[in-house]
Amino acid sequence: MTTVIRTEDVWKTYSLGSPRQVDAVKGASIEIPKGVITGIGGPSGSGKTTLLSLIGLLTKPSKGKVFIEDKELSALSEVFRTKFRRERIGFIFQAQYLIPQLTATENVAIPKLCTDTSRGEAERLAREKLSGLGLGHRLDFRVAELSGGEQQRVSIARSLMNSPEILIADEPSSSIEEALTKDLLATLREMVDRDELTVIVASHDPLVLGWCDRLYTMRDGEIVIQ
């Protein structure tokens, strides 16, 4: 298997004011293969979300290195990391961050509007993504008019708008019931099998972790099982 993402002895330390500090991630070294679902399990507060933010280049490590396709990217400029994220990585956040005043189509179109794509083309692509996730009948509905599961699928569609090679999901089942979680996982599995999408998911839900091809477990900021 080809390794897409690799971390080497990555630490993330937050200062709470001198001399207090918290090590949210402590020396994490992991490898994430292409075209599989890799899970990061562990209880709340174990460092899962912080590790995802490091893998996804949202934050820089205090120590250690993050490699994507054997290139060390964690130390590069914010401008470069922002461009890389926009073009290569999709995110499904624990809170969906949908804009309530916008329709499903308008929410999903936002990533394309951050590029040189016209509004008309961005919304056409958004409708295509939503229809592919079974939301063709909800294109013009606002967020409050959608169920929790539908909102989650809107979030997934938005994360796929720039055709990312890597998809990072933080607690994707936190706001939906079990049946909808199974639908979400089936959707992710289909994309992995069809498109060789690389998925990294952090969760403490056994149902979610049971779908993963590879699993790491964290406790107190450390990788304890792999």
pLDDT, one tens digit per residue, over 143-194 is 999 988 888 889 889 988 888 999 999 988 766 667 777 877 888 888 888 8
Q: CA-CA distances (angstroms) from residue 212 to 73, 81, 89, 125, 176?
A: 26, 27, 19, 29, 19
Domains and CATH numbers, the chain: 3-225 (3.40.50.300)
Q: CA-CA distances (angstroms) from residue 23 to 11, 12, 61, 180, 222?
A: 7, 6, 11, 35, 10
The closest of 221, 203, 161, 200 to 34, measured between CA atoms, is 200
Q: In what order do the strands lie in the sheet with 37-41?
A: 89-92, 166-170, 198-202, 37-41, 214-219, 222-225
pTM score of the predicted model: 0.86
pLDDT value of position 109: 95
Quick one: average pLDDT of 106-113?
Answer: 92
pLDDT, one tens digit per residue, over 53-71 is 999 999 999 999 999 998 8
**Encoding tokens for residue 101?**
């005043």
Distance in angstroms (rounded) separating the CA atoms of residues 98 and 161: 14
